[in-house]
């Protein structure tokens, strides 16, 4: 059945960008390039970026498959879904079945899997850019996406934000933006349902992704004609697909959290675990995230986005400004305007939250790459016959991104990974980590059952004040790590919850604190037995310097 359109809608369709049908060979070539590049990306990733990379996915998966692994406070309070860790648990299970569960494979297998999935996110970004601007943008979007230092940092890492971003851009690739609908209702609905499926997975992975799809969904409803029941179909399909996937996710989370498998005959509503609600309630309404740092309102605009984009920033601005001429009614201009509004909306809402991180706005990064590619195309065309200037621009952009990409992947915060690899090669002696909490990965990298007990391997914890809101007790509450750094000598002398281990791991900065060297080296008899470079500079002074291992003298 052919959908009915008004003359303005037909005009928009007629002015859509020309897109030549991609051949099977060309699609395979793009996929191959992206996959091989991300595998190289994964191979060069030797550093530790964010605790959640290990503690919220591989660590949980390790516990599910091998029976031991540390669960952080988020899992006690049901604010994380098992959907994401189960992806990596399936990888671990396959390795265990094949007796290939060596420590090195437990590190590399999830990383290469994530890199492969990220490559399909790159392909989706490439496809979405062509859908909006046409084939002439193809080489530019491929260049900026694969050159981006921030993509290089995030793509192979097992963060839920990375998976969320991939699902988001794959969903957008099929999303019926205003002016881009296909001619037949059946085809339109097919693409729309695919998009809803991936969008639902993105929201399950991180509930805050609903910020994106709520905006696009309302926008779609507004632009969809009410005639012929199209608006009803848009809404009904969204509710149906999201409800089915959410229901399945509730069943999975309820089972893994409580051991209770919901059944129709013995249904108990009070036993269900609905992670999206507990996630939003804890992080937004209770403001628990503030415990891990507060930033000014303008942080994303003045620090976050400029650093994420780096040398691409001027091109991104050019691309966003020129993407939507005020007098244009073409499909390209309409979709560009929609995506620009989405970017501004997401940045604005996240700016309202006190706790800010680069990775929180990563789901809109593919859109920023599309605007960057558009800005590069415009700049390339304006340079005209100046071939040398054109290639100087490209080389400058590539080098500035490459240098930082290699630095954060090969050197910055490498010591905290190297020390865990070194420790697992040593006899299973007890080891304590006198560091800010979660400064290193844990059992998913160590993979030594002899060290599964708390007294064999321990760290300073940092659970937030979950019983009351932070506004009531933020001035008085100190977690274990904060108590330690307030007075390290007194803490170790009087309050240490563990016996003195065979080895202590710490950052070099700690040894410079008054009394620490005397206490550990002279009174307790520890000697430095290993040292690993970690970083040249660090925003957290507690993490400055090398990673130092002290061993108890015999």
Report d(CA 297, CA 188) in Å as an integer: 40
Residue pLDDT, tens place only, 287-318: 777 777 789 999 999 999 999 999 999 999 99
Band (267; pLDDT cuts 50, 70, 90): low
Residue pLDDT, tens place only, 353-400: 989 999 999 999 999 999 999 999 999 999 988 889 999 999 999 999
Residue pLDDT, tens place only, 516-536: 999 898 889 999 999 999 999
Q: What is the mean pLDDT of residues 539-554?
A: 92
Give pLDDT, residue 1. Answer: 37
* Mean pLDDT, the chain, integer: 90
Give pLDDT, residue 16. Answer: 53
Give pLDDT, residue 287. Answer: 72
Report d(CA 196, CA 213) in Å as an integer: 9
**Spatial CA neighbour of 370 closest among 219, 34, 144, 80:** 144
**Spatial CA neighbour of 377 closest among 178, 134, 190:** 134
| Long-range contacts of the stretch 284-290 (C-beta < 8 A, 24+) | 284/353, 286/466, 286/469, 286/470, 287/354, 287/469, 287/470, 287/471, 288/464, 288/466, 288/470, 289/353, 289/354, 289/355, 290/354, 290/355, 290/470, 290/474
pLDDT at residue 510 tops 60? yes
Give pLDDT, residue 184. Answer: 44
Give pLDDT, residue 440. Answer: 97
The lowest-confidence range among 189-193, 229-233, 459-463, 508-512 is 229-233
| Long-range contacts of the stretch 15-22 (C-beta < 8 A, 24+) | 15/329, 15/330, 15/331, 15/332, 16/179, 16/180, 16/330, 16/331, 16/332, 17/132, 17/133, 17/134, 17/331, 17/332, 18/134, 18/135, 19/130, 19/131, 19/134, 19/135, 20/135
The lowest-confidence range among 116-125, 217-226, 247-256, 262-271 is 262-271
Q: Which residue has the higher pLDDT, 147 or 259?
A: 147
Q: What is the mean pLDDT of residues 510-514?
A: 92
pLDDT at residue 495 tops 90? no
Q: Where are the domains of the chain?
A: 7-410, 415-552
Band (20; pLDDT cuts 50, 70, 90): low
CA angle 19, 330, 320 (to 5 degrees): 90
pLDDT at residue 2 tops 90? no
pLDDT at residue 76 tops 50? yes
Give pLDDT, residue 14. Answer: 44
Instruction: Give the ranges where 148-280 is alpha helix by DSSP (H).
Output: 149-154, 160-174, 185-205, 210-223, 230-258, 275-280
């Amino acid at each position: 059945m052919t959908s009915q359109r008004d003359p303005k809608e037909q005009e928009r369709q007629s002015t859509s960008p020309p897109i030549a049908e991609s051949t099977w060979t060309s699609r395979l070539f793009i996929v191959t390039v992206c996959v091989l590049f991300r595998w190289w990306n994964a191979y060069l990733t030797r550093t530790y970026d964010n605790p959640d990379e290990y503690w919220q996915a591989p660590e949980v998966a390790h516990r599910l498959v091998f029976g031991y692994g540390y669960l952080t406070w988020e899992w006690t309070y049901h604010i994380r879904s098992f959907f994401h860790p189960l992806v990596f648990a399936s990888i671990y299970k396959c390795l265990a079945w094949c007796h290939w569960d060596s420590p090195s494979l437990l590190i590399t297998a999830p990383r290469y899997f994530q890199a492969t999935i990220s490559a399909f996110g790159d392909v989706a970004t490439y496809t979405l850019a062509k859908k909006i601007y046409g084939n002439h943008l193809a080489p530019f979007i491929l260049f900026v996406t694969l050159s981006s230092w921030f993509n290089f940092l995030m793509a192979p890492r097992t963060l839920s934000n990375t998976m969320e971003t991939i699902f988001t851009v794959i969903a957008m690739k099929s999303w019926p933006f205003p002016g881009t609908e296909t001619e037949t209702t059946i085809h339109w609905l097919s693409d729309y349902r695919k998009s809803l499926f991936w969008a639902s997975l993105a929201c399950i992975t991180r509930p805050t992704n609903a910020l994106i799809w709520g905006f696009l969904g309302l926008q779609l409803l507004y632009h969809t004609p009410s005639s012929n029941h199209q608006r009803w179909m848009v809404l009904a399909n969204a509710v149906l697909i999201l409800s089915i996937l959410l229901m399945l996710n509730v069943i999975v989370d309820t089972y893994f959290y409580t051991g209770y498998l919901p059944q129709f005959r013995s249904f108990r509503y009070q036993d269900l675990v609905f992670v999206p609600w507990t996630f939003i309630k804890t992080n937004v309404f209770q403001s628990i995230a503030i415990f891990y740092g507060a930033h000014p309102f303008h942080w994303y605009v003045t620090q976050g986005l400029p650093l994420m984009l780096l040398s691409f920033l001027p091109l991104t601005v050019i691309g966003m400004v020129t993407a939507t001429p005020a007098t244009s009614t073409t499909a390209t201009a309409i979709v560009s305007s929609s995506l620009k509004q989405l970017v501004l909306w997401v940045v604005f809402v996240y700016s309202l939250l006190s706790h800010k991180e680069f990775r929180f706005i990563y789901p809109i990064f593919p859109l920023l790459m599309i605007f960057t590619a558009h800005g590069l195309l415009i700049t390339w065309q304006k340079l005209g016959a100046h071939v040398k200037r054109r290639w100087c621009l490209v080389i400058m952009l590539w080098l500035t991104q490459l240098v930082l990409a290699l630095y954060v992947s090969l050197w910055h915060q490498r010591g905290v990974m190297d020390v865990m690899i070194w420790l697992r090669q040593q006899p299973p002696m007890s080891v304590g980590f006198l560091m800010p909490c979660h400064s290193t990965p844990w059992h998913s990298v160590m993979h030594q059952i002899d060290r599964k007990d708390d007294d064999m391997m321990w760290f300073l914890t940092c659970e937030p004040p979950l019983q009351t809101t932070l506004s009531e007790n933020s001035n008085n509450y100190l977690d274990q790590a904060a108590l330690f750094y307030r007075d390290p000598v007194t803490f170790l002398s009087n309050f240490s919850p563990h016996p003195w281990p065979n080895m202590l791991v710490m950052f070099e900065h700690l040894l410079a604190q008054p009394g620490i060297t005397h206490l550990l080296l002279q009174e307790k008899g520890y000697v430095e037995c290993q040292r690993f470079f970690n970083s040249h500079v660090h925003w957290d002074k507690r993490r400055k310097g090398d990673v130092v291992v002290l061993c108890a003298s015999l």
